[in-house]
Amino acid sequence: MAIQDIVCSLFKLGASCSGMPLDTLLVEFLLIPSVVMIIFLYVSVNMFLRGEHPKIKPLLAITFYITIIYSGFYGTFAMFISSFLPLFIAGTFILFVATRFISPSQMKNLGGVASKAGEFIYDRSTIKDRIMSKYSELVDLDKKMTKLFDFKTEDADDFSKEGKVILMLRHEVRMELENLIHSYFRAFGNKKDTDIMRVKDYLHQTDTLNNIDNKINKKK
């Protein structure tokens, strides 16, 4: 039996394996996938067995490698690596060049900066979503009040029980909204956000509802 047939049979590379050029088979389907798989297995074993005897880790990696070969999964992995070999080589080259100019500690710091930036964006988006949600709630309450009453008076005591309940809810929503906007500006310092400024202007416009709300607040 030829070497090519032995390799194809042992590594279970499929029926098309026997028709491949020997150099392609040995390099693209045997050497490179095996190196990638062994490195991956060694890193995985090292992550799960921290503090264990260092000689055990390579032994386990090789054991898993042999198990994968005999289970028949190696052929699928080798085909995948072979299909994306140019991308793999390009990625390896970029990583190599990056590590020449950026030390591992610097890469860790960059990762920390990126993480903080992501948290900043997430927190900002979360608070803004909360503000816009409360703003919609306030607008709905104002529409309901406008539909129920003609506002010939700004004395809250003259409203019906339903009107007083809506006024109370509106006051709570307005106070919470003002606190959220204050927290937003204090945390992010960006007063050029058109949505937030629109909400802020709506809160401080001098209309009848806000006048009533202000009177309620002064009484308290």
Q: DSSP characters for 102-160? A: S-HHHHHHHHHHHHHHHHHHHHHHHHHHHHHHHHHHHHHHHHHHHHH---S---GGGS-
Unique residue bearing structure tokens 């995948």 = 80
Q: How far is CA 32 from CA 15, 41, 42, 194, in A?
A: 20, 14, 15, 54
Mean pLDDT taken over the chain: 76
Q: How many residues does the chain have?
A: 220
Is pLDDT at 3 greater than 70 in this prediction?
Answer: yes
Range ranked top by mean pLDDT from 1-10, 61-70, 140-149: 61-70
* pLDDT tens for each residue of 42-53: 888 888 877 667
With a CB cutoff of 8 Å and minimum separation 6, the contacts of 23 are: none
With a CB cutoff of 8 Å and minimum separation 6, the contacts of 170 are: 138, 141, 142, 145, 209, 213
* pLDDT tens for each residue of 93-143: 787 776 666 665 655 555 555 555 556 666 778 888 888 888 898 888 888
With a CB cutoff of 8 Å and minimum separation 6, the contacts of 104 are: none
How would residue 178 be classed by pLDDT, with cut points 50, 70 and 90?
Answer: confident
CB 30 within 8 A of CB 17: no
- 3-state SS class at 49: coil
CB 148 within 8 A of CB 163: yes
**How much is the pLDDT for 150?**
53
Is pLDDT at 219 greater than 60 in this prediction?
Answer: no
CB 62 within 8 A of CB 38: yes
**How much is the pLDDT for 207?**
58
* pLDDT tens for each residue of 55-101: 788 888 899 999 998 888 888 888 888 788 788 778 777 877 766 66
Question: What is the rounded average pLDDT of the residues 208-216?
Answer: 61
Question: What is the rounded average pLDDT of the residues 153-164?
Answer: 59
Q: At 88, phi and psi to the nearest 5?
A: -65, -45
* Mean pLDDT lowest among 5-14, 80-89, 195-204, 205-214: 205-214
**How much is the pLDDT for 121?**
65
With a CB cutoff of 8 Å and minimum separation 6, the contacts of 161 are: none
Question: What is the rounded average pLDDT of the residues 205-217?
Answer: 60
**How much is the pLDDT for 216?**
53
CB 193 within 8 A of CB 129: no
CB 167 within 8 A of CB 146: no
Count the neighbouring beta carbons within 10 Å of the beta carbon of residue 26. 15
**How much is the pLDDT for 102?**
62
